[in-house]
Amino acid sequence: MEELYHFIDGKRVKGTSGRFADVFNPATGEVQARVPLASTEEMAAAVAGARAAQPAWAATNPQRRARVLMKFVGLLHRDMDKLAEALSREHGKTIPDAKGDVIRGLEVAEFCIGAPHLLKGEFTDGAGPGIDMYSLRQPIGIAAGITPFNFPAMIPMWKFCPAIAAGNAFILKPSERDPSVPLMLAELMQEAGLPDGILQVVNGDKEAVDAILDHEDIGAIGFVGSTPIAEYIYGRGCSNGKRVQCFGGAKNHMIIMPDADMDQAVDALVGAGYGAAGERCMAISVAVPVGQDTADRLIEKLAPRVEALKIAPYTGGDDVDFGPLVTAEAKKRVLGLVDRGVEQGAKLVVDGRNFSMQGYENGFFVGACLFDNVTRDMDIYRQEIFGPVLSTVRADSYEDALGLAMDHEYGNGTAIFTRDGDAARDFASRINIGMVGINVPIPVPLAYHTFGGWKKSGFGDLNQHGPDAFRFYTRTKTVTARWPSGIKDGGEFHFKPMD
């Protein structure tokens, strides 16, 4: 069995804690590797290496730092197939989904090549008599990222690319469920010319997380995961005086107006609701048709499409719609929520609970499920399911539909499908949610904008990628400078004393 490692000071390092976690093949249910879980002492050693390396990296001019990312982007293109295969093998998502995971991270790396522009300060000439004022953007020092299993390539790159481009050293604690790709990314960064110690990958569980939260040399922390853990990390990190951004759970509503193109809406729901087996924080998990006729037409067109979805391992070909869930525990939780939905009175239009694939009976597969007549009080509506389950909540009016999304505790993403520009503008203006799609089901902003949710989906003042990332990973220093004025006399300057 393969034994994985940490990546510290530019080399592979075996774990010394004696604790390990199993890494599964989700399609077969078999353990394919084990990953070491770092102790507090191991994390401290990684931080010490980062502390030693960071000053020289910060002193490297931004253009040279950007060139490392430029080379890194080329290496990502070179190794795309290798990265996607490793990602799919540990996560379970299809190869096209895995490549999309890498590409969305790669786009942030491309954006960060523009770091020299993004790090420019401001200058005021003549702010007072003989006085100039200017600001500097300087790195925090050491930053850390605690990243989830569902995007093991994209989210680590969303974290470490801007942090490193800004002159910081970075400690990455990836998910122990699929750790291979983050380790591969660190090695590609080293190949691109990153100095040893600037990017450390330390695998671990809660002990490693707490070591990050408590270490006095780590100045900034980014997290993506569930809301309860986001609240814990945000609270403990802030109480220790750190700059913290945390992104939690989601329950994304898609409103379908009576005038919507129903075929377009159904296509959107199939992809956004069931892609990557629903293990996406931007997945659409609630469809909200406005009016009974709209709801009836939606279910009539949607149900056969959901029934026809192809579920298979990532090796099943490019026409596979989604694969297994990441762990046996995830499968058990999703099935339990589906059962509760039935018990609480929702209509299970498409039942995927008994899905099984010959030869993969021990895999973590759950078939696509579609609910109708879901209400606000049901568990399947209130909780983030994180599986291939779509709930339909019928709304009597546009205001009723708007209220559903606005009243929910999560505020990550939302969408409206309509031909009415006035309705779309009103929705975008009034909705209290961070990312909004208009006839776009998964409104993930491109790398040069910023990603982040509201309410219990996001904690902290600044978002991921875009200009916000450089604000998060730097501090502003403002300088006020006054020089004594000189009087030219016979070709020489005689300086007047300052007042």
From residue 335, how far is each of 291, 307, 353, 375, 419 by CA, in Å?
A: 30, 17, 7, 19, 37
- CB-based burial of residue 399 (10 Å sphere; 0-12 exposed, 13-18 middle, 19+ buried)? exposed
pLDDT score recorded for residue 53? 98
Residue the block writes with tokens 């309509």:
418
pLDDT score recorded for residue 130? 87
pLDDT score recorded for residue 292? 98
pLDDT score recorded for residue 484? 76
pLDDT score recorded for residue 318? 83
Residue the block writes with tokens 């009836």:
296
> Tens of pLDDT along the chain (499 residues)?
899 999 999 999 999 999 999 999 999 999 999 999 999 999 999 999 999 999 999 999 999 999 999 999 999 999 999 999 999 999 999 999 999 999 999 999 999 999 999 999 999 999 988 899 999 999 999 999 999 999 999 999 999 999 999 999 999 999 999 999 999 999 999 999 999 999 999 999 999 999 999 999 999 999 999 999 999 999 999 999 999 999 999 999 999 999 999 999 999 999 999 999 999 999 999 999 999 999 999 999 999 999 999 999 999 888 999 999 999 999 999 999 999 999 999 999 999 999 999 999 999 999 999 999 999 999 999 999 999 999 999 999 999 999 999 999 999 999 999 999 999 999 999 999 999 999 999 999 999 999 999 999 999 989 999 999 999 999 999 999 998 776 666 666 666 665 5
Which residue ranges form the domains of the chain, and what is each CATH number?
Answer: 2-248+457-479 (3.40.605.10), 252-438 (3.40.309.10)
From the candidates 112, 246, 281, 369, which is the catalytic residue?
281
Strands (E), 140-283: 142-146, 169-173, 199-201, 220-224, 243-247, 252-256
- Quick check: is 238 catalytic? no
Alpha-carbon distance of 463 to 453, in angstroms, equals: 8
Alpha-carbon distance of 483 to 89, in angstroms, equals: 63
pLDDT score recorded for residue 493? 60
Alpha-carbon distance of 164 to 248, in angstroms, equals: 24
Alpha-carbon distance of 215 to 195, in angstroms, equals: 23
